[in-house]
Chain A
Amino acid sequence: GAVVSQHPSRVICKSGTSVKIECRSLDFQATTMFWYRQFPKQSLMLMATSNEGSKATYEQGVEKDKFLINHASLTLSTLTVTSAHPEDSSFYICSAMLGYNPYEQYFGPGTRLTVT
């Protein structure tokens, strides 16, 4: 149980275009999902917390107009990178929260974004 999927696993897009990444909790409902960014050989950096039916909460330094997050259902959150640039190339990982106090996060397999 507690499986999280991401789609696509890899995406290449041209500079200036937008790309959408989906995160789904397959066998549980997740009112809260998280989006992380991971640079090569580094740890995960939390970008935003996504709550179903409400606006996402962004971490300091993350541009909310560039990284649009939508959490329209209890099993789906999407991250849209708008007007992508090469510096946005990274590994994006989502997680879904299972349970409350204590919290457990289950992670998706990640999406490799390359902007050319």
Chain B
Amino acid sequence: AQSVTQPDIHITVSEGASLELRCNYSYGATPYLFWYVQSPGQGLQLLLKYFSGDTLVQGIKGFEAEFKRSQSSFNLRKPSVHWSDAAEYFCAVGAFGNEKLTFGTGTRLTIIP
């Protein structure tokens, strides 16, 4: 069965600083990987996705993520965060032939001035 681990429950970053949110997955074959962002009281917005090909994926709002098969990781990065990036971030994994997504427990991002 597939699973996702987001080791950081809460991260605080200064505005303008760089950001990296960690995501580790467990799956036997090549996974489909997603990062979603959720603002308070809102649904999830897709930031980026990886299916195959280039392991460095660019997303919306200046985010990127890198798929590292050897480390079973798909970490989310942003070079300079903005106060509006404060939200909950979820990593999710899917797979060929399995329409369901498995979500991590989320990382709450706080931005300080």
Contacts and interface: CB of A to CB of B under 8 A. Distances in A.
Interface in A71-93: 91, 93
Question: Which of A41, A44, A105 is most buried by chain B, counting CB atoms within 10 A of its CB?
Answer: A44
Nearest to A111: B43
A108 B43 contact: yes
Interface in B87-113: 90, 94, 96-97, 99-101, 103-106, 108
Nearest to B10: A41
Interface residues of B, number: 22
Nearest to A51: B99
Given A102-B51, A103-B32, A104-B49, A97 B99 contact: yes
A42 interface: yes
Interface string A42-69: 1110100100000000000000000000
B99 A110 contact: no
Given A43-B90, A44-B90, A44-B103, A101 B41 contact: no
B71 interface: no
Interface of B: 32, 36, 41-46, 49, 51, 90, 94, 96-97, 99-101, 103-106, 108
10 contacts: A32-B99, A43-B90, A43-B104, A43-B105, A43-B106, A44-B103, A101-B97, A102-B94, A107-B46, A110-B42
